[in-house]
Amino acid sequence: MQGLYAVFSKELRDHFSSYRFVILFALIAMVSFITSYMAGVHMKGNLEALAKTRFPFLTLFSTPGAVLSMVQFVAFFGPLIGLVLGFDSINRERADGTLVKLVSQPIYRDAVINGKFLAGVTTISIILLSIVLVISGFGLALVGTVPEVEEVWRIFIFLVISIFYISFWLGVAILFSISLKSIATSALASAALWIFLSFFVSLGADVLANTVAPVDNSKETEPATIIKNLKIKEMVSLCSPMVLYTDATATIMDPMRNTISIVSIVQRERRPMEKLLSSRFQNPLSLGQSLIVVFPYMIALIAITFICFAISYLIFMLQEIRT
Amino acid sequence: MEADRVIETVSLTKNYDHHRAVNSLSFEIKEGEIFGFLGPNGAGKTTTLLMLLGLSRPSAGYSRVCGLDPLRKAREVKRLVGYLPENVGFYADLNAVESLEYVATLNGIKRAEASAKIHELLEVMGLSQDAHKKVGAFSRGMRQRLGVAEVLIKDPRVLFLDEPTIGLDPDGALRLIDLIQSLNRDKNITVLIASHNLYQVQKISHRVGIMIDGKMVAEGSVQSLAEAKFGVGEKEYSLEEVYMKYFREV
């Protein structure tokens, strides 16, 4: 344990004193300020017009202000935090010759990788927590609403899911830094994987779905084909951690949505009467129900985070130190 | 006597993908000895050291360090052995004191105890002036001395030094050699020193071993190796002559 703690505290100190952390934090703080300000202004108008908005506090995070909402922003660019914190964690030590020195101290070898991963996760948690607190404080001042207990819980769950999501990318970055010798290559490889999984998988999903079950808008298509098309799209998209994360936080941050399946949303939208009904008489899901809806996605997200770390762990433990 | 042997290897072998780095190596080092580990580049010296530390898994054979199996008791072995790798690396943005503090915490040394030791070691290694300078700005010789300080902070019973005097100026090298000798004499620390500087090795080693292509081709005192090759005579051979003789024969 002593070795783990020593590595952990050194890594944590390194993270917080590094320029990359300062730059990253400034960037995120700026963007979240802007998004929450936009959301706040937007909501203020809504609050004046409508009798009552449910969960006004959550809308600070989930309403797209100018471009992206806070939740979307984390989904899109959160992975960058993980990648930047992890892409050189092992191979820099290898290049500098400090890895041999580190593992020839009386510590277990896994203390090195565990300490680094935990320090990264702690840094991520601190970044996210402070951002959420800043937005909340900002929202209190701007909108003048106090969060309900349930909203606090929902934000807490959102925070936990986000930490796992970004930690997954930290794990990916560490995995590349273990298996690739060059720092530039590992940075590039992890960024490439991020871009591929976040942006190209959904494109691929569209292509695949339209090939297997073509839907032609100009002609009448069998409902069964439409559903098949959507199901394929949904399934392939789930390969993307970003989609997984968006789904996992969906009903948590937006309780008015009571499903995250594209199929049922689309079906509802196709029938005007139902759409009207659902929008007029919809009640928010309770916290427990929201959790049930997103539970599979949450578990999947946590699972891929652990699997990714476990692979890094195994490779690191079996690797020759001097290669 | 069993306890007398600090290092013992029995047919230690290490295969990499395409070649055999260490080939059935058997040798032993007794307590309180300075053992000069010689051999050309790529002879398998560093690989042997890594196996003795439990950092590399032997393909066959086994080794004991202070009676412990480095594979099973890696942590205990690493507590007793101070290893100075060739071209030891440092965290460039830490200063000398912080670097030593980090190594001390990794060794589980208490803070108060560590700071006294750090002060003392910096003094001994002649780094007191540069204690708060970033290691990134250190010269080659200063880095090497800091590396030695990091190894000594854990009060090792055994020292593995891989090219400790490389990059040091003649004065620095001489002082380091003297330091090693005094550590050996005063604290009875066993030293395994791998080096290409035959003159220095001859000066301090009780025994030497010559390793070529993963095999120990000769082992013993410089005098006995010379006698084995050149016969008993009046002339005193230098280690260089002995080494070259063995090297050419293989």
pLDDT at A223: 79
Closest residue in chain A to residue B90, using alpha carbons only? A98
Residue type at position A113? I
Residue A73 has pLDDT above 70, yes or no: yes
Distance (Å, rounded) from C-alpha A261 to C-alpha A278? Answer: 16
Residue A263 has pLDDT above 60, yes or no: no
Q: In this predicted model, what pLDDT tens digit does every residue of B120-162 receive, in sequence order?
A: 999 998 899 999 999 999 998 899 999 999 999 999 999 999 9
Integer Rg of chain B from CA: 18
pLDDT at B1: 43
Q: In this predicted model, what pLDDT tens digit does every residue of A184-218 receive, in sequence order?
A: 999 999 999 999 998 899 888 888 888 888 877 77
Model confidence at B61, pLDDT cuts 50, 70, 90, reads: very high
Closest residue in chain B to residue A3, using alpha carbons only? B106
Residue B232 has pLDDT above 80, yes or no: no
**Per the CB < 8 Å rule, is B89 touching A101?**
yes
**Complex ipTM value:** 0.89
Residue type at position A153? W
**Per the CB < 8 Å rule, is B106 touching A105?**
yes
Specify the 3-state DSSP secondary structure of A225: helix
Q: What's the average model confidence in pLDDT over A30-36? A: 81
Closest residue in chain A to residue B48, using alpha carbons only? A322
* HSE-up (13 A, CA, CB side) for residue B155: 8
**Which residues, other chains included, contact A179 with Cβ-Cβ below 8 Å and sequence gap of 6+?**
A186, A315
Q: In this predicted model, what pLDDT tens digit does every residue of B29-42 receive, in sequence order?
A: 999 999 999 999 88
Nearest-CA distance A126 → chain B (Å): 23
* B103 vs A contacts (CB less than 8 Å): 101, 105
Model confidence at A273, pLDDT cuts 50, 70, 90, reads: low
Model confidence at A50, pLDDT cuts 50, 70, 90, reads: low
Q: What's the average model confidence in pLDDT over A270-288? A: 64
pLDDT at A274: 57
- Tell me the torsion sign for CA atoms A225, A231, A235, A236: positive
Model confidence at A224, pLDDT cuts 50, 70, 90, reads: confident
The count of other CB atoms within 10 Å of the CB of residue A295 is 11
pLDDT at A267: 54
Beta strands in chain B (DSSP E): 5-15, 20-30, 34-38, 60-65, 81-84, 158-162, 190-194, 207-212, 215-220
Distance (Å, rounded) from C-alpha A20 to C-alpha A28? Answer: 12
Nearest-CA distance A45 → chain B (Å): 51
pLDDT at A65: 60
* A104 vs B contacts (CB less than 8 Å): 53, 55, 78, 81, 83, 85
| Token pair for A102 | 């580190």
State the DSSP code for B129. Answer: G
Which residue in the set B53, B87, B92 is minimally distant from A104, CB to CB?
B53
Residue A13 has pLDDT above 90, yes or no: yes
pLDDT at A265: 54
- Interface residues of B toward A, Cβ cutoff 8 Å, are 46-47, 50, 53, 55-56, 74-76, 78-79, 81, 83, 85, 87-93, 102-103, 105-108, 150, 154
Residue A277 has pLDDT above 60, yes or no: no
**Per the CB < 8 Å rule, is A104 touching B105?**
no
Mutate to test the interface with A, among B87, B90, B100, B106 (most CBs of A within 10 A): B106
pLDDT at B234: 72
Mutate to test the interface with B, among A15, A17, A89, A100 (most CBs of B within 10 A): A100
Contact A70, A39 (CB under 8 A): yes
pLDDT at B120: 94
Q: In this predicted model, what pLDDT tens digit does every residue of A245-255 receive, in sequence order?
A: 988 887 888 77
Task: Name the percent of chain A lying above pLDDT 70.
Answer: 86
Backbone angles phi, psi at B162, to 5 degrees: -105, 105
Among B70, B246, B41, CA closest to B160? B70
**Per the CB < 8 Å rule, is A6 touching B105?**
yes
Among A249, A228, A251, A254, CA closest to A53? A254
Q: In this predicted model, what pLDDT tens digit does every residue of B174-216 receive, in sequence order?
A: 989 999 999 999 999 999 999 998 999 999 999 999 999 989 9
Nearest-CA distance B207 → chain A (Å): 25
Nearest-CA distance B107 → chain A (Å): 6
Residue A52 has pLDDT above 60, yes or no: no
pLDDT at A144: 76
* A3 vs B contacts (CB less than 8 Å): 106, 108
Nearest-CA distance A102 → chain B (Å): 8
Q: In this predicted model, what pLDDT tens digit does every residue of B77-109 receive, in sequence order?
A: 999 999 999 888 999 999 999 999 999 999 999
Among B61, B13, B17, B51, CA closest to B213? B13
Model confidence at A272, pLDDT cuts 50, 70, 90, reads: low
Q: What's the average model confidence in pLDDT over A259-266? A: 56
Which residue in the set B75, B79, B85 is minimally distant from A97, CB to CB?
B85
Which residue in the set A10, A103, A106 is minimally distant from B102, CB to CB?
A10
State the DSSP code for B72. Answer: T
**Per the CB < 8 Å rule, is B89 touching A96?**
yes
pLDDT at A68: 75
Mean pLDDT (chain A, rounded): 84
Mean pLDDT (chain B, rounded): 90
* B50 vs A contacts (CB less than 8 Å): 321-322
- Interface residues of A toward B, Cβ cutoff 8 Å, are 2-3, 5-7, 9-10, 14, 17, 93, 96-109, 320-322
Q: Where are the domains of chain B?
A: 5-82+156-249
**How far from each other are the two terminal CA atoms of chain A, in whole angstroms?**
27
Distance (Å, rounded) from C-alpha A158 to C-alpha A168? Answer: 15
Across the beta sheet with B5-15, what order do the strands follow? B20-30, B5-15, B60-65
Nearest-CA distance B129 → chain A (Å): 24
Nearest-CA distance B174 → chain A (Å): 24
Task: Name the percent of chain A lying above pLDDT 90.
Answer: 42
CATH number of B5-82+156-249: 3.40.50.300
